[in-house]
C-alpha cells in the first residue's frame, strides 16, 4: 500500500526534483483540507510508481508555503521535474486531481 510523502523544507527540493509530483499544502485545523485527505491518500495509491503525492503542513513548513505563494489552503501545486506547472486552490474531486496528474505523465 502506497503512502503519500510528508515533506519538510530539508527534503522538499529533492522530493520534487524528478518526475511528476502533486503537493497538497494543508493544515490540521483546515476543514476542506481534512475533507480531501482521503482523496489524497487514494491518489498516492493509484499513482504509486508513476507520480509522487506529497503533503506539506503549512503550520510547520511556512517557508515552503511562502516560497510558492500559498495564501489559502488547501492549495495543490503540480510539479514536473522540479518545475511548478499548475496550481489548484480549494477542494476538488479525485477525478480533477487525477486528470491533472495524468496530463503531466
Which residues belong to the active site?
A: 30, 33
Torsion angle in degrees (nearest 10) through CA of 102, 12, 77, 52 = 20
Q: Cβ of 31: how many Cβ atoms within 10 Å?
A: 8
The counts of H helices and E strands in the chain are 4, 5
- Cα–Cα distance between 33 and 87 in angstroms, integer? 15
**Within its chain, how far is the Cα of 59 from the centroid?**
15
Amino acid at each position: 500500500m502506497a503512502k503519500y510523502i510528508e515533506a519538510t523544507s530539508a527534503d522538499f527540493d529533492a522530493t520534487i526534483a524528478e518526475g511528476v509530483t502533486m503537493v497538497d499544502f494543508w493544515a490540521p485545523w483546515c476543514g476542506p483540507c481534512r475533507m480531501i485527505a482521503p482523496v489524497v491518500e487514494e491518489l498516492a495509491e493509484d499513482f504509486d510508481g508513476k507520480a509522487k503525492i506529497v503533503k506539506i503542513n503549512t503550520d510547520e513548513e511556512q517557508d515552503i508555503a511562502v516560497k510558492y505563494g500559498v495564501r489559502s489552503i488547501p492549495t495543490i501545486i503540480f510539479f514536473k521535474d522540479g518545475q511548478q506547472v499548475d496550481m489548484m486552490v480549494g477542494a476538488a474531486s479525485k477525478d480533477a486531481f487525477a486528470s491533472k496528474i495524468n496530463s503531466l505523465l
